[in-house]
Amino acid sequence: MQIHRHTHILPEMVFFDLGGVVVDVQFDLFVRQMARLCRISQKEMALQLHGLSPLYQRFATGKITADVLFDRMTRQFPKINDRAVFESFYTGIFRLKEGVTDIITALRTQVRLSVISNTDALHFDYIVRNYAVMQLFEEPVTSFEVHAVKPQAKIFQAALKRFGLQPAAALFIDDREENIAAARNVGMQAIQFESAQQLQLELDNIFPDWRTSQPSLKAVF
């Protein structure tokens, strides 16, 4: 595990990605549940869902509503005729990332926190309603709200503008290399997430005393 030695100004705000950092995304669970209900193989369901990628992209950028998404899904899969069932499948794919909630709780005592996430209205609403850690973030910046997805510069610029930040005063944490590169291209500091342990060590280089408010984090894993 390589830990980067950061040379920076102290961040005024830290932005977290959601999927892959705060929560795990179990898309295979959605595929299995859909396949079982539609009585087709998981392989066939995965192929059909992949073919709907442009539809998801439009939903994730706020260009269509949840009503339109459900209507399109029912036309593609006639057995999906109960919206509550579909939404339970569609949203029930998240689990909190082990160890990250404690990091967020401790870090919140040191610096302001928010979110920059590629997500849609249904997924985001589910995460907010089910995970109390979301209350620690100020005004999350989402792709469906700003009509842009990472790694597009527009979503990072929207976050900086919302909080009146200079790029170098913002730290972004994401698990995808292309998103880290995009954040750095607009001038933000960035950490590529690998694990809770690695993130702790990276944060030690930036906020030396950040663990003191969370006893469980005083010792490295």
Whether 103 is in a domain gets the answer yes
Give the end of a domain, one of 63, 91, 119: 91
Same domain, 77 and 120: no
Give the model's pLDDT for residue 216: 55
Give the end of a domain, one of 70, 91, 112: 91
CATH number, domain containing residue 196? 3.40.50.1000
Same domain, 34 and 138: no
Using CA atoms, how far apart are residues 170 and 193, in angstroms rounded to an integer? 16
Range of the domain at 121: 13-25+96-217
Whether 2 is in a domain gets the answer no
Same domain, 168 and 129: yes
Give the model's pLDDT for residue 221: 34
Using CA atoms, how far apart are residues 207 and 215, in angstroms rounded to an integer? 16
Using CA atoms, how far apart are residues 174 and 179, in angstroms rounded to an integer? 7
Considering only CA atoms, which of 164, 174, 26, 8 is closest in space to residue 90?
Answer: 26
Give the model's pLDDT for residue 150: 98
Give the model's pLDDT for residue 211: 83
Whether 3 is in a domain gets the answer no
Same domain, 196 and 172: yes
Mean pLDDT by 10 residues, the chain (221 residues): 58 98 97 97 97 96 97 95 96 95 94 98 98 97 98 98 97 98 98 96 91 58 34
The total number of structural domains in the chain stands at 2
